[in-house]
Amino acid sequence: MMLLGTLLTRGGYYMAWPFFSITLFEKFGLPAIAVGGFLAVATACGAFSGIYAGYLSDRYGRRAVISISTVVAAIGYMLMSASDSLTGYSVSILVVSMGCAQLEACCKALIGDRVTDAGDREFALYFRYFALNIGVAAGALIGVTAGIANPLTTFMTVGVIHLVYGAVLWALLRQLEPRKAAQVPGEQGSFSDACARILGHRAFVTLLICNMLVALVYANFDSTLVQYIARSSPDGGRRLVAWLIAVNAATVTIAQFPVLRLLEARSIELRLTIGLALMFAAQVGFATAGVKQMSILVLATIVLSLGELIVFPTFSVKIDRLTPDDLRGSYFGAGNLYSLGSAVAPLLGGGLLQYLGGTGLFAVLSMICLFVLVLHAVTSRKEAHVASERPETV
């Protein structure tokens, strides 16, 4: 049910997402930089609220917080369908962002609660990422076709999807969870104590920084690369952009499980190294290819997609392994801060594109990938060294 709900809610989110920026521009006349800045702020507020929601789920149980977050997201979508003012629409986007971030943090933590075997839990997180991508592809397709005629109906539909999912999951968890393991009120400290423990966990903080930087790099594919092609092509590059998006979606959908099967015997550290190296190679490909070299751009997109489908679910697996049972929700909530990289990407990428051009933009992004590769290698070596020095327990 959680995997199906992930597919439906993420699909619903991307049914509505294309209209956020369009409405802010066409209906309220906001300039592009203001639209990008507002969406970045909304994403940041959602990410930080996810930490607190995760903490509350650790303290009071997943079921209550998941139910509340689905209601919050649904209210945001429904308000959006009825908003005629910039203030109302802005508040609606903020509420949607917070509800979706809170729901994602709690659902990832719930996988760790319910699936006790480490191998099964790892597969569940990979499969969740697969369901998420199917939802993104299907939702975006429905949104830009059927949703164009009546976006208000689209917002209402997405709100109803969240309400139904929340109600079904609440009823299911009520039957399956008579106990609240590690979630009894009073067992955890305050929210500030939880944040202090998270910030003091160096391996987790380093992993979060790496995830954030990789999200920043990857998000430029959806935003800045499109601008680069549109500015450099006489027809706006619509055909090329459509090809690249289709190649990305097809590669992630088709290749995820074969690649997972190929790498399942490898360590988490090696998987991340391979994925990061592929993303670095893709940025080099984008930097060296002109907008007329379609074959190189398609090849770079395939390489980037392969890196993406390895890196992002593997980050979730590693977060799960680093997470203590009593703060699983708080850790996954903090893990959602990686979305800050995606939020900043359009602003940073747009500035780099304007002042450095396409080649300079992707050269900088390739250097960020290289930095993450080095940081990951150094951290992994330190972790291995610390583990080797721990005394064996009998």
Say if domain 1-181 classifies as CATH 1.10.3720.10.
Answer: no
Pick from 381, 371, 390, 338: nearest CA to 46:
338
Instruction: Place 148 in a pLDDT band, splitting at 50, 70 and 90.
Output: low
For the chain, what percent of residues have pLDDT higher than 70?
A: 86
Kindly tell me if the per-residue pLDDT of 250 is higher than 90.
no
DSSP letter assigned to residue 29: -
Can you state the percent helix, strand and coil of the chain, rounding each to 5? 85, 0, 15
Q: Which residues contact 298 (CB under 8 A, 6 or more apart)?
A: 243, 244, 247
* Mean of pLDDT values over 248-273: 88
* Mean of pLDDT values over 170-184: 65
Dihedral angle computed from the Cα positions of residues 352, 356, 361 and 365, in that order, rounded to the nearest 10 degrees: -80
Question: Which phi and psi (to 5°) does residue 256 adopt?
Answer: -60, -50
Q: What is the pLDDT of residue 388?
A: 57
**Cβ 267 vs Cβ 326: under 8 Å:** no
Name the token pair of 15: 């049914």
Instruction: Place 306 in a pLDDT band, splitting at 50, 70 and 90.
Output: very high
Kindly tell me if the per-residue pLDDT of 181 is higher than 60.
no
Kindly tell me if the per-residue pLDDT of 233 is higher than 90.
no
Pick from 166, 19, 187: nearest CA to 103:
166
Instruction: Place 185 in a pLDDT band, splitting at 50, 70 and 90.
Output: very low
Q: Range(s) for CATH 1.20.1250.20 in the chain?
A: 1-181, 188-386
* Mean of pLDDT values over 12-33: 72
**Cβ 319 vs Cβ 262: under 8 Å:** no
Q: What is the pLDDT of residue 363?
A: 93
Kindly tell me if the per-residue pLDDT of 183 is higher than 70.
no
Q: Which residues contact 333 (CB under 8 A, 6 or more apart)?
A: 50, 51, 52, 53, 54, 55, 102, 105, 109
**Cβ 128 vs Cβ 111: under 8 Å:** yes
The CATH code belonging to domain 188-386 is 1.20.1250.20
Instruction: Place 210 in a pLDDT band, splitting at 50, 70 and 90.
Output: very high
**What average pLDDT does the structure give for the chain?**
83
Cα first-last separation, the chain? 41
Separation of alpha carbons 42 and 88, rounded Å: 14
Q: Which residues contact 115 (CB under 8 A, 6 or more apart)?
A: 121, 124
